[in-house]
Structure 1
């Protein structure tokens, strides 16, 4: 007997799968749910616990429903490999937001175009982010978290106590890497 399977994914722990679940429940009587929470779409499908379990569970005749194609991933190749893996097992894939059945020739064409657009958008976001970082640097703004340790103090304590890097890190409650950076910059 064939089953309707739903897959939900959110990228961060501040997001919820509830909208995806409600949208799918409004249109399908789902037999089995698989979820990946706080999981980036950039992580390959086979490396995501929920999607990996779905791939192992799905059988010929089943239908996998996703809220949107980007829930399967953001990388064109990975999304296409996931869909092809499911189709090779006789499993249909339906994307609600885009409104198509990916097992049809038109659905495959749309999937290829949408996945490529998602990858392009991700690349554009990264480019804009890097441009913003470069602009901030050019304007002399400091980036990153505010420094909380005094490099000179850490280096001096280590020298005064003839302490190891690990002992210094433990004393100040900082990482070994922070001690190394502090000692290097204090020279």
Structure 2
């Protein structure tokens, strides 16, 4: 899950130059990019706390807080800075997985930073301890999801309003981070 960084200091480039945000004790870093830094607090794995997602503008210091159902991590900020895509831990473990495993599977979700509305990508279940690669298209309308499937990668594309993500032909290799959206992989659907 998110790295517990204690008194976290996150740096990022803003339009005004290098910015720095002190996120405080108990913060779990989620993402940084496009003049934003995001972190969670109070996301106890046993549900004992009130989980909150915090988003701060690096250039202005303005912070927005969102009540969150569970822990989030592995996030990226969209190029336009209006969306955050992330892994959202499910509330309970799934009996189809190892019963002794302490972590539940996850969903891929997007939060609209202007409204706080969270939307889950339908039809996906991410096993615990799995880190999919996430990337937004240049116009921030599409989310690319790279899922490790052994000796190949399943590459999916999804945008709000679709019943299920589109899936491409599997690509040889493994997921080692967020995929780069080359012109050949950019969705042309509108």
TM-score band, normalised by shorter chain: under 0.3
Higher relative contact order (CA 8 A, sep 6+): 1
Which one has a larger percent helix, Structure 1 or Structure 2?
1
Query: Which one has a bigger Cα radius of gyration?
Result: 1
Q: What is the TM-score with the length of structure 2 in the denominator? A: 0.24
TM-score under structure 1 normalisation? 0.24
